[in-house]
Amino acid sequence: MRVVRPLAVIALAGTGLSGLAACGSDPEPAKGASAPAASAPASAAVALQSLPVEEIVARTRAAGEQLMSTTYTVSMPGHPEGALTGTFAGDSVRGCRGGYRNEGKGSAEILRTNAEAWLKPDADLVKAAPEIAPAAAAGKWIRLPADNYNNPKSFVSFCDLGMAVQKQVGLNTDGTVGRNLAKAGTRQVGGVAAVLVTMTDEDGTPVTYAIATEGSPRVLSADSGPGQMVLTFTGFDQKVETALPPAGQVFQG
């Protein structure tokens, strides 16, 4: 499944993890994937890691559909325009707040409500990418055009990635199950026990998911190998602060 592809300064193209999410859209029902039984919630006594891999990912997707919010960090050390890192909190009503830094390019904060999207670039970013905003806008919030709200090529696409991954574990863009879907042992992620699930997406990219075996089966991390993209998740079901910027912090140019 193809990951978001924002503007060139933070473009994610060519970084792998295409199997993780088609941000801003929900996949078709998985073809050939088993659905979680209504009588067998993720908290059932049977240990998650002992279930067939198809059941593990089905339960994880079902838990993702019920998720109210999550926070994730992204690390892309091999990004062609310089290492990219970021943290974003997004919720089920598409509220979002976060930010990213592109090494050698600068950084920006992002805010999205249910009706508006905003960007606050720093001085380095507007200098390296003047097409984003004029120099005078550095350190100020800029209201983005309406087409940025759902446009998969915009910066705002980062807002959708976290929630999308939680809902699309093990699936390709068209909703089919990824190739070579398998369990790959267990490990601790942030002090939480997790079962590892691996797959190969339609682009041939290997993907590894770490899924919590305690409580709800949340995706704790997802990656496509060293130097590509690693996502780490926290803050499940926590409130996302989306208050609009004060007038004094808004660029008026």
For 124-165, what is each residue's pLDDT tens digit?
999 998 888 899 999 999 998 877 666 555 678 889 899 999
pTM across the whole model: 0.81
Residue 191: the pLDDT is 93
214-243 average pLDDT score: 92
**Contact present, 43 and 216 (Cβ < 8 Å):** yes
Whether 14 shows a pLDDT value over 90: the answer reads no
Residue 216: the pLDDT is 95
DSSP state of 140: S
Whether 21 shows a pLDDT value over 60: the answer reads no
Residue 64: the pLDDT is 97
Residue 151: the pLDDT is 58
Q: 8-36+45-234 — its CATH code?
A: 2.50.20.20
Whether 212 shows a pLDDT value over 60: the answer reads yes
51: phi then psi, degrees, rounded to nearest 5: -80, 160
User: Distance between CA atoms of 181 and 15, rounded to whole angstroms?
Assistant: 21
Contacts 24+ apart (CB under 8 A), 53-59: 53/170, 53/181, 53/182, 53/183, 53/197, 54/177, 54/181, 56/183, 56/195, 56/197, 56/211, 56/217, 57/33, 57/169, 57/170, 57/171, 57/181, 57/197, 57/209, 57/211, 58/30, 58/33, 58/34, 59/217
CA–CA distances in Å: residue 7 to residues 11, 81, 134, 151? 5, 12, 16, 11
Highest mean pLDDT among 33-47, 143-157, 181-195: 181-195
pLDDT, tens only, 43-68? 444 699 999 999 999 999 999 999 99
Residue 1: the pLDDT is 33
> For residue 23, what are its two tokens?
């941000």
User: Distance between CA atoms of 60 and 8, rounded to whole angstroms?
Assistant: 33
